[in-house]
Amino acid sequence: MLMDGGNAVDAAVATAAALNVVEPFMSGMGGVGIMLFHQAKNGVTQTLNFGGRAPDAARPELFDAQSKQVGIRAPMVPGNLAGWLEALEKHGTMSREKVFTPAIEYAERGVPMTHFGHRIWEDNAAKLRQCPYAAATYLIDGRVPAPGEILRQPDLARTFRKIVEQGKGVFYEGEIAHAIADFCAAEGGLIALKDLRDYQPVWQDVIATDYRGYTVCTAPPNSEGFQMLETLNILEAFDLASMPHNSAEYLHLLIEAVKIAAADRIAYAGDPDWCDVPIAGLLSKAYAAERRKLINRKKANVVAGERWVKDVPEGAIKAGNAREYLPKGTTHFCIVDAEGNAVSITQTLGGGFGCGRVVPGTGIALNNGINWMEIDPACDTPNLIAGGKRAAWCLSPMQVFRDGKLFLAIGTPGSYGILHTTLQMFLNIVEFGANVQEAIEAPRVRIYGGTNVEMEERIPADVRDALTQMGHTIHLLPAWSPVVGGGHGIMVHPISGAYLGGADPRRDGCAMGW
C-alpha cells in the first residue's frame, strides 16, 4: 500500500485484513482490537477503540470457566471490521477494494503454512474439531496442514468481497450480521442482531506519562495500558542505566514495580462507561512515590496474579488508594509512512482461533473476549461481566515522543504479558541504548502470581540464582519463547528522521521498509 502511494492508515487496514487470512488463529474480522494513530500534520495522537462489548444478554450466571473460553457463548460483539473501516474512512486515502484485495487474493489462492503456524494449529486442533464449520475452514481432510502446505479460505474471500461491495452495513446489519446472529441463536450463544447493529468503535484521547524527557503514550481504559505507565513512574526514581542490563538488581526492581502496578490495574481497570477509573491518580508522580515504598531491594513481594482471584495469597500486595491522588478537577504491528503518520494496532481473537467457532458460510472465526471478564459474583473489581460492558483488556500499543516528535512505536501480543514485555523493550532502548531490533531480541521475563517469574534461559544462571536468593521463584523458558510476546517496533532517528524497524524472531513477522 505504501509503495502504491497510500498512507499509514491504508497500509494498516490492508495488513490487518491480510493477517485475518495468514494468521487466522491470532486475529480477524470476528475479533477485537485497538489502534494508536499519530497524525503528523497536526501532531495529534488518538486511540481508536474497536474492542467488543459483551452481548446485552450476558450475565455472570450464564458462564462457567469453560464456556467463557471455548464455545459459542464466549464471543464479544466483534469490533475489528468496524475499526478498520472507521480508520479508513476518516484518515485513509484508498478504497475498500484496494486495501482488501491482498486479503481476498491470499484467501482465494491460498497461503503456505508456516512452522510457527503449524504448531499453533496442532495446539488447537481439538478445539477446531468441536465445530464442523471450523474444521472445514482450517483443517485439510480433518488434519492439521503441514508446514508449506497451502490453505485456502474461499468463504472468507467471499465475505471480504461482500464488504468491499456493501461496506460496514453488510457485517453489522445485513447478510453477514444475520448469519452471525442466527448461528449464535442456533448454538445457544448470546450475540443477537441488535448487539451487532448497536456496535460502534470509539475515538478516545490517549493517556501518557513523562519518563526521563520522553512522552510515553498508550490507550486509555478499558485498555489496561496504564499499568505500563504507572510502572515507569515507579521505576523513574532508580538509576537503571547504571545497572548491567538484565542484572539481578535491575530485574528485581522491574519485577517488583510491575507487581505493584499490576495490583492497581486489577483493582481499578474497567469500562469507563460503567465505572470511574481514576487515571489521574494512578498516573500521579506522588502516587508512584508512595507505591514505590513497597519495594524491598533485597526481597521479592508476593502478588495475587495476573487478574482477579477470589483467594488472595497471604501477604500479597494490595491496590493503593489512587483516588487520594486525583487532582481536583495478540497481534501487533506498526506502520510509519513518509509523512510521519504512525499507526500501531493490537488486535486479537483472544485465545487461539478465538472461541473455536466459525460462522457457517463466512469463514469468520469468532473471538473469546468474554474470557477477559470476571464471572464470579464475588468479584469486587469493575470487570465483572454485564451486558453491553467492555472488558478490561491488556491490549496496549505504545507510542513514544521526544521534543514533540515521534521517537518510537512499539508493542506486542502476549496476553497480560503485554504489559511488561512492551515495558522491557522500551527500557532496553531508553535506559540501555539498544536499537529497536536489539531491544526486541533481548531476553525477557514474565511475571505471574505469588513470586513466580518465567525467564528465558539466555538470562545467565548467576542472575537467576541471585534472584532466587531474593525469594523469586524462577521458571525457565526456552532461549527464544513466544510466551514473552512477539514484539514489533519502529524507531525514528531524532536528527535524520530515518526509520529503523524491528521484528521478533520468537514469532512470525518481519520489518519492511521502502
Q: Give me the active site residues, please.
A: 330
**Residue carrying C-alpha cell 517469574:** 453
Phi-psi region of 110 (alpha: psi -120 to 50; beta: other; left: phi over 0): left
Q: Across the strands, what pairs with 216?
A: 209, 400
What DSSP character marks residue 62? Answer: G
What's the number of CA atoms in the CB half-sphere (13 Å) around residue 409?
Answer: 28
How far from chain centre, in Å, is Cα 406? 21
**Residue carrying C-alpha cell 519518563:** 211
Measure the CA dihedral 149/154/159/164, to 10°. Answer: 90
In angstroms, rounded to a whole number, what is the distance separating the alpha carbons of residues 463 and 385? 41
Q: Which residues of 250-286 are buried (b: 16+ CB within 10 A; e: fewer)?
A: bbbbbbbbbbbbbbbbbbbbbbeeebebbbbbbbbee
CB 191, CB 75: distance < 8 Å = yes
In angstroms, rounded to a whole number, what is the distance separating the alpha carbons of residues 85 and 162? 14
In angstroms, rounded to a whole number, what is the distance separating the alpha carbons of residues 420 and 409? 16
Which residue type, as a one-letter code, is found at position 185?
A
**Residue carrying C-alpha cell 477477559:** 372
Q: Across the strands, what pairs with 492?
A: 499
- Report the SS3 class of residue 341: coil
In angstroms, rounded to a whole number, what is the distance separating the alpha carbons of residues 236 and 213? 11
Q: Across the strands, what pairs with 71?
A: none
Please state, as a whole number, how many other Cβ atoms lie within 10 Å of the Cβ of residue 405: 12
In angstroms, rounded to a whole number, what is the distance separating the alpha carbons of residues 437 and 423? 15
Which residue type, as a one-letter code, is found at position 19?
L
**Residue carrying C-alpha cell 469468520:** 364
Cell of 466: 541471585
In angstroms, rounded to a whole number, what is the distance separating the alpha carbons of residues 342 and 36? 8
**Residue carrying C-alpha cell 473471538:** 367
Supply the DSSP string of 372-396, one letter for each residue. GSB--TT--STTB--TTPPPPB---
- Report the SS3 class of residue 213: coil
